[in-house]
Structure 1
Amino acid sequence: MPSLPELMHRTFFRTLSLLSPRGQAVVLRRYFDWWHRSPDPWKLSTDDYEQHKYRSTLECLPARPYQRIMEVGCSEGVFTETLAKTYPEAEITGVDVSERALERARARVPENGRVRFLQADILTHQVEPRFDLVFCSETLYYLGRHDRLHRASDQLSALLAPDGVLVAVHPWPEARRLHRFLDGHPSLSRLTERVYTTPPRPFTVAAYGAKPA
């Protein structure tokens, strides 16, 4: 059962989703720039729970080569750095709404011909060349209402190359609601799902494959 502060937090973002997608994106950008006024506000680089979640996410991936990888909601690039080390031959794109977060991400993982960072949001981002692997972690609950989750599922599925893999990581059991449109999307099929009852916040890692055209 979510705590009262968490319920209020979710209600705030559902209210934001009454705005147009572009209006919502502007507010979210300002919100996350404010959060990143201090480095690593969620302690992603040092918290044992977050590190466990990163390891668990990678363990759930289908064993295959990945040449083009996107991380949606990369924040300051903590997981991006792990991806760059895990897949040294892959091209990796980190995406976030906060330019302040991306400045720190670029300091952590310098951009080169293999790694780059892009300021964009999942609701209005224009799809680029397709990716073999896309991560969306701790992001969907900021989008609010079901129509925005539906839009996000369309956007995420459109990022995948043929035979590409999408990995969604969110709190459990809230992930049932957040992943609903991914589960029912005509272009996606669920490959695996694992629920981790790790204190203080259970989470699920769900992997989806792009269906053949």
Structure 2
Amino acid sequence: MPDLLHRALFKTVSLLPPGAQAVLLRRYFDWWHRSPDPWHLLTDDYEQHKYATTLRLVPHRPYRRILDVGCSEGVFTHTLATRYPDAEVTGVDVSERALNRARARPARKRPTFIRADLISYRPADSFDLVFCAETLYYLGRGDRLRLASARLIELVRPGGLLTLVHPWPEAERLYVHLGGLTRILHHVEEEAHRPFSVTVLEA
């Protein structure tokens, strides 16, 4: 029931124009981040298992530019910077409060953090590897999801990979507009208390 109410809220928010939706989401996530690490991404066993599973499944390739969409306080983004020390790693999120904590996190190699929403984000270049986890369901209705999917496709360079991590089986609904990419890997963690899937698509 909490998940259903959660989805209903963001479906209603998505009735607003894209700019207004982005402002409201930014305020919502700034409010959530009034305290550090509100989802316990740094300490929760489930979240750590999800990160480890994702990284285990990503194909081993040389990646020059990596993007983490909806990076929150940068826990996973910093992990990426450590795992891929030769890559330029960028985290994007709508909450400046979350990003300030991400920037302040001690790190040997510091990622770049940018405040932007997925639909309006326009980087100078595309990426070899893009991660989008626990993000797409915040967009609500289908036309907004279609716009976000088109942006994700544009962010991945030809031959690059898009890695998606979302609750299962809801993930299948969230990915219906990503048909321009080729699915090369799909893994479902059904034994987790909140089942999730890791899906890797190639441009």
TM-score (norm. length: structure 2):
0.96
Which amino acid in the other structure matches residue 167 of structure 1?
A: T
CA distance in 1, matches of 2:102, 2:67: 14
CA distance in 1, matches of 2:152, 2:49: 25
Structure 1 position 20 matched with structure 2 position 13: no
Which amino acid in the other structure matches residue 171 of structure 1?
A: P
CA distance in 1, matches of 2:3, 2:58: 29
Query: Where does 1:35-50 land on structure 2 (aligned, <5 Å)?
Result: 35-50=32-47
Structure 1 position 69 matched with structure 2 position 62: no
Structure 1 position 123 matched with structure 2 position 119: yes
How far 1:127 moved relative to its partner?
3.9
Query: Where does 1:75-94 land on structure 2 (aligned, <5 Å)?
Result: 75-94=72-91
CA distance in 1, matches of 2:124, 2:29: 24
- Measured against aligned partners, the alpha-carbon deviations of 1:44-73 in whole angstroms (never above 9, x if no partner) come to 000000000001111111121111000000
Would you say the 8 A contact 2:92–2:116 is kept in 1? Answer: yes
2:183 pairs with one of 170, 178, 190: 190
Structure 1 position 59 matched with structure 2 position 56: yes
CA distance in 1, matches of 2:8, 2:176: 19
Would you say the 8 A contact 1:195–1:204 is kept in 2? Answer: yes
CA distance in 2, matches of 1:199, 1:56: 12
Question: Which runs of 5 or more structure 2 residues have no equivalent in the other structure?
Answer: none
Aligned length: 203
CA distance in 1, matches of 2:172, 2:70: 20
Task: State the SS of the aligned residue for 1:26.
Answer: helix
CA distance in 1, matches of 2:191, 2:26: 30
CA distance in 2, matches of 1:103, 1:208: 31
CA distance in 2, matches of 1:179, 1:122: 15
CA distance in 1, matches of 2:63, 2:106: 19
How far 1:199 moved relative to its partner?
2.7
CA RMSD of aligned residues (A): 1.3
Would you say the 8 A contact 1:45–1:78 is kept in 2? Answer: yes
Q: Which runs of 4+ in 1 moved over 6 A?
A: none
Structure 1 position 149 matched with structure 2 position 133: no
Would you say the 8 A contact 2:78–2:111 is kept in 1? Answer: no
Structure 1 position 136 matched with structure 2 position 132: yes
**What residue in structure 1 maps to residue 26 of structure 2?**
29
Identical amino acids, percent of aligned pairs = 61
